[in-house]
Amino acid sequence: MKYFDYAATTPIDEEALRVYKEASLHFFGNSSSLHDCGTNALFVVEQCKETLGEILGVDAKGIYFTSGGTEGNVLSIISMARGAKQRGMHIISSMAEHTSVHSALAFLEKEGFEITKIPFLKNGQIDLQQLESSIRKDTILITIQHVNSEIGTIQPIQDIAKMTENKGILFHTDCVQSFGKLDLKTITPYVDSLTISSHKIYGPKGVGAVYIDPACKWEAVFPLLTHEDGFRGGTLNVPGIASFISAAEQMAKTDNHLEMEWELRTLLKTAIGNEASFFEGDDRSQLPTIVGVALNQMEGQLVMLECNRHGFAISTGSACQAKHEGETKAIQAMGYPIEVAKRFFRISFGKMTTKEEILTLGQLIKEIGQS
């Protein structure tokens, strides 16, 4: 099977797997236990936070390890909103956020918060003018994904942050798709909170992290929990955390492959040709490794199944919503009708992808479109 669904998950890196095994053998203790085994495990966790803080350019005291991006988004958004509710009950987001963000916002709506969701422009970026005009005196939180998980557009984090200056508005961003591909140090000075995940960067599944600026007040989603300063419950996955940070360090040290990634993207688009429409931003606001496509007059699910039959793994969007027909959020947020959203499919590639595989997939999709 030729794998083209890296935006959903990545294969684990061999070095990260080795670290996972070593940590499982030697640092298996519960990091909350007071004996030496627990203390040694806690030391690993704390060292991993320091390393991650350096990679992100943030204070390690604000890092909390989680089970992944979904838990990180849910806990951080709800915790920050509750911590700021005395100042207001209005939250702004986009129509095209990850399902976990929409889930957290739906939960907060039941608690009395008011949610405003902003559409995308045709270039796949959020409508900044509409976002700014939606800010009110009682707005306490803005949550916008850094890189869209369906079409790979990069949102203007600094421009959004300028809108929050001196207004007491917290800014959270989901960086699950951007971490390891873009330098997050360029945006961390402008946000109050962010979420990242291990299995998107060749680390193990079931591990992630949240950063919340230590200066921010937050209220735990669940009371009386003791792990991670009460941010979440459950024994920390110490081997997974060590493996996650090993993968993160390798991604941080890797030479910039953007030139090669853009070459692969261009090869793919050229091979597919005029049989398809592409949903993307300009070069400055586009992650090259995520390609949003729609063939003329053919549903995306049929394209995905036909590719699968020929040994290629692609997707019809975010894996967290794959079973819910017609829920390609980014396409609808851009103003396209549901018929276009149903024709959407996503191709995403990674560090193991070859030019030969790209060209073969592109030719296959072209043939599918002509059939």
Q: What are the pLDDT digits (tens) for 18-51? A: 999 999 999 998 887 889 888 999 999 999 999 9
Q: Looking at 208, 232, 253, which one is the last position of a domain?
A: 253
Q: For the stretch 321-336, what's the b/e string if a residue is b when 16 or more beta carbons lie within 10 angstroms of its beta carbon?
A: beeeeebbbbbbbbeb
Q: Are 245 and 52 in contact (CB under 8 A)?
A: yes
Structure tokens at 234: 């459950």
Quick one: 239 and 264 in the same domain?
A: no
320 belongs to the catalytic site: yes
Q: What percent of the chain has pLDDT over 70?
A: 96
Q: Looking at 227, 253, 279, which one is the last position of a domain?
A: 253
pLDDT of residue 257: 79
Quick one: 78 and 191 in the same domain?
A: yes
Residue 207, helix vs strand vs coil: coil
Quick one: 284 and 204 in the same domain?
A: no
The more confidently predicted of residues 226 and 334 is 334
CA separation for the pair 302, 310 (Å, rounded): 13
198: domain CATH number is 3.40.640.10
Decide if pLDDT at 317 tops 90.
no
Q: For the stretch 96-106, what's the b/e string if a residue is b when 16 or more beta carbons lie within 10 angstroms of its beta carbon?
A: bbbbbbbbbbe
Q: What percent of the chain has pLDDT over 90?
A: 87
- What distances in angstroms separate CA 270 from CA 54, 109, 172, 265, 362, one per listed residue? 39, 45, 37, 9, 8
Out of 37, 48, 307, 320, which one is annotated catalytic? 320
Q: Looking at 187, 222, 253, which one is the last position of a domain?
A: 253
Indicate the average pLDDT of the chain: 94
Decide if pLDDT at 156 tops 70.
yes
Decide if pLDDT at 130 tops 50.
yes
Query: C-alpha 149: how far from its chain's center?
Result: 6
Structure tokens at 320: 């967290």
CA separation for the pair 191, 213 (Å, rounded): 8
The more confidently predicted of residues 68 and 258 is 68
Quick one: 108 and 248 in the same domain?
A: yes
How would residue 273 be classed by pLDDT, with cut points 50, 70 and 90?
A: very high
Quick one: 167 and 148 in the same domain?
A: yes
CA separation for the pair 330, 81 (Å, rounded): 24
- What distances in angstroms separate CA 211 from CA 94, 215, 281, 304, 311, one per listed residue? 21, 12, 28, 36, 39
Quick one: 361 and 301 in the same domain?
A: yes
- List for the chain the helix, strand, coil content (%; round to 5): 45, 15, 40
Quick one: 227 and 275 in the same domain?
A: no
Helix intervals (H) in 90-208: 99-110, 128-134, 157-164
Quick one: 85 and 123 in the same domain?
A: yes
Quick one: 212 and 83 in the same domain?
A: yes
317: domain CATH number is 3.90.1150.10
Domain count, the chain: 2
CA separation for the pair 43, 338 (Å, rounded): 51
DSSP letter at 319 equals G
pLDDT of residue 318: 57
Quick one: 26 and 150 in the same domain?
A: yes
Q: Are 333 and 344 in contact (CB under 8 A)?
A: no
Quick one: 213 and 284 in the same domain?
A: no
Average pLDDT estimate for 135-145? 98
pLDDT of residue 327: 56
Quick one: 315 and 366 in the same domain?
A: yes
CA separation for the pair 249, 242 (Å, rounded): 11
Give the range of the structural domain holding residue 340, as residue numbers without chain letter. 2-9+256-370
Q: What are the pLDDT digits (tens) for 181-194? A: 999 999 999 999 99
CA separation for the pair 41, 204 (Å, rounded): 18
